[in-house]
Chains A and B, each alone.
Chain A
């Protein structure tokens, strides 16, 4: 790409959309999607109406994004491409300014190298560096070289000029599948190597593309990343376990499990815990945000147990069909207690009981008086 292709950094998204002839309806639909993906936890979607959110996003300057690839399968790129609102063109031209992306860019070879250099220079200190893939570290990182540089070097070089780094996918977040034992290349997540810049982890294999979009726009719009948890993951998407929002949770709570693929329980859509579902141990938004913009397009939705792709120590670590320990079980509110109350006492019955008791005592006293009278009478009779 020649320098002239790099767009001005000052155009807002709204202005750019207008210039490119993208319909407002298109844009509004995208904003709506974003609101659905991140109903809370993002400042940019914190509006009461679609129009308000659209205005907020419209004001945002298009963020410049440099996308690096390392030990990856390109799945995370593919997930981004699987959005129709916006479609890929809209996305890379109007919402974000995708200044460098090895998969979708036209350039190759030296042109590509120049493109990277130009992108970094034009938005020095302001661009967002998205990293896809793990970085090999063993033997000084020789297991991956690009343009003569090792992955580690390239990472350090690019991220040193970035405003923030987003690790997209489990590989970039914590090593992912390349780091699976015995990890011969020493595949490592980005946040182990980049310590001087804010790193946002969006794990998943692949993650939901709207999580990335929301994160990027939040950063562009507010200058700050969204609220992150202890592992650097955006809370709006990763603050819950799959288990906590699983549509099959009712079956888990009621003890209905599929024991084998294809059995009666499986056909009924029962809980997949016994088949090795890692939902109870995995933090990810998949339960509520499905993939490919198709409802139920996610593992549990199609009847396969979650395998914990987003969670370090679970995905690609615990065997697929092994049941996972539930370390933080939260029982439902209505769970049989050790001591339960069993019914009460009928007030009517108590009343009758009291009445009878009183009648007995009363009758006894009266009878006793009568008897005394009779007795004295008879005594006096005998005396006579």
Chain B
């Protein structure tokens, strides 16, 4: 296997990328409308449901999908599985883009975004008790960390750039970056551990309004566990997708293991969840024939199903299905925690408005289009021709 990543090349504007950019354009126009007309007119948010699609999906689920970088970094740098190394860069790219889109969604969602800069800077106003504060600052920091972690891919190309200024800049910064990178990566492991678990803690503040099937002191732990599993699932998804879309070979054997990790994570989560419910005497709720129990079982099934797709299979197709099933499971778990399990009282209803959905779609399309563009331009994807060695030689660049 080639140790070096290379730009995938190919035209930037293909049929699909044009479609994606078109959706993105619609999304951005609607974002402009949202700021002109206000949230009341453009969204279905209400006093009963102050948080909706943009928080539950774009931010909470979106960042969980963007945990590929985190999950891979754990595997490669903590558990020292060097053979997965080629999958790190694309995972980090997905993460960087995912977190950036999530950050953008936050700015679109909040009602008074002109004060957002005060959150990281006005330390004298910081409410250190606020979990949302911790999440916000952590995500801001992690976003920066991710782009820094990805930057070697840019510098590699810029080192050979025809513009001397850029070349000099790249050549000057690279060695500093190399040295500092261990500490950056450690940060890139610490920060998501903190905020992905805290995203779970967020809903605990709704106290008695959170349904007991989801409300547990272990909610942060569950969010963390599922986000790691989702990270692996998304790496499988994104690698398979790249393979087909960019007509490259997929590293099936590597992906198989990741798929198994994701599936295992799903099953462990379900087991732990049942134990937690039993320990707190809430198992009976699971067997009630109500709306919440239905969603609980849907989650459970989706978390367990990937096992069937990954154990004993060597087929990329079923692996891919297993991955998206796990990702869906994680997404549903988050949707449920933030929307379904939350009960504002009778008389309130929420379903995302057209504008909310189209903006989300536009942002996702943008993310995919930018991903495709960047992997074509920069050395992010590694090619595959034969099975990789078990260790990565230390003489190779850190990334």
Q: Does a CB–CB distance below 8 Å link A and B in the complex?
A: yes
- Listed in ascending order, the chain A residues whose CB lies under 8 Å from chain B are 339-346, 348-350, 352-353, 356, 364-365, 367-376, 378
The answer to whether B395 has its CB under 8 Å from any CB of chain A is no
**Contact between B318 and A356, CB atoms less than 8 A apart:** no
CB contact under 8 A between A378 and B352, given known A343-B46, A367-B320, A372-B317? no
Complex A-B: 15 CB contacts under 8 Å = A340-B347, A341-B347, A342-B47, A346-B353, A348-B354, A364-B324, A365-B321, A367-B240, A368-B317, A368-B324, A371-B316, A372-B318, A373-B317, A374-B243, A375-B252
Bound-complex Cα distance A17 to B228 (A): 105
**Contact between B349 and A346, CB atoms less than 8 A apart:** no
**Contact between B347 and A342, CB atoms less than 8 A apart:** yes
Binary interface encoding of chain B residues 252-284 relative to chain A, with 1 for a CB under 8 A from any of its CBs, else 0: 100000000000000000000000000000000
CB contact under 8 A between A342 and B48, given known A368-B318, A368-B321? yes
Bound-complex Cα distance A230 to B352 (A): 60
Contacts of A376 in B (CB 8 A): 315
CB distance from A212 to the nearest CB of B (A): 53
The answer to whether B11 has its CB under 8 Å from any CB of chain A is no
CB distance from B321 to the nearest CB of A (A): 5
CB contact under 8 A between A371 and B347, given known A345-B44, A349-B357? no
**Contact between A375 and B317, CB atoms less than 8 A apart:** yes
Known contacts A340-B347, A364-B324, A367-B241, then 8 further A-B pairs from the complex at CB < 8 Å, ordered by chain A residue = A339-B345, A345-B44, A349-B352, A352-B357, A353-B351, A374-B244, A374-B250, A378-B250
Contacts of A349 in B (CB 8 A): 44, 351-354, 356-357
CB distance from A359 to the nearest CB of B (A): 10
- Listed in ascending order, the chain B residues whose CB lies under 8 Å from chain A are 44, 46-48, 240-241, 243-244, 249-250, 252, 315-321, 324, 345-354, 356-358, 361
Nearest residue in B to A337 (C-beta to C-beta)? B347
Chain A interface main SS type: helix
Contacts of A364 in B (CB 8 A): 320-321, 324
Contacts of B316 in A (CB 8 A): 371-372, 374-375
Bound-complex Cα distance A371 to B243 (A): 9
**Contact between A368 and B349, CB atoms less than 8 A apart:** no
The number of residue pairs between A and B whose CB atoms lie closer than 8 Å in the complex comes to: 81
**Contact between B348 and A342, CB atoms less than 8 A apart:** yes
Bound-complex Cα distance A346 to B351 (A): 8
**Contact between B244 and A345, CB atoms less than 8 A apart:** no
Bound-complex Cα distance A376 to B44 (A): 46
Nearest residue in B to A344 (C-beta to C-beta)? B349
Contacts of B315 in A (CB 8 A): 372, 375-376
Contacts of B240 in A (CB 8 A): 367, 371
Nearest residue in B to A351 (C-beta to C-beta)? B354
**Contact between B346 and A339, CB atoms less than 8 A apart:** yes
Contacts of B241 in A (CB 8 A): 367
Find the residue from A341, A352, A364, A375 having the highest chain B CB count within 10 A: A375
Bound-complex Cα distance A35 to B47 (A): 54
Find the residue from A350, A352, A373 having the highest chain B CB count within 10 A: A352
Contacts of A374 in B (CB 8 A): 243-244, 250, 316
**Contact between B349 and A345, CB atoms less than 8 A apart:** yes
CB distance from B207 to the nearest CB of A (A): 20
**Contact between B320 and A371, CB atoms less than 8 A apart:** yes
**Contact between B352 and A353, CB atoms less than 8 A apart:** yes
Nearest residue in A to B53 (C-beta to C-beta)? A353
Contacts of B318 in A (CB 8 A): 368, 372
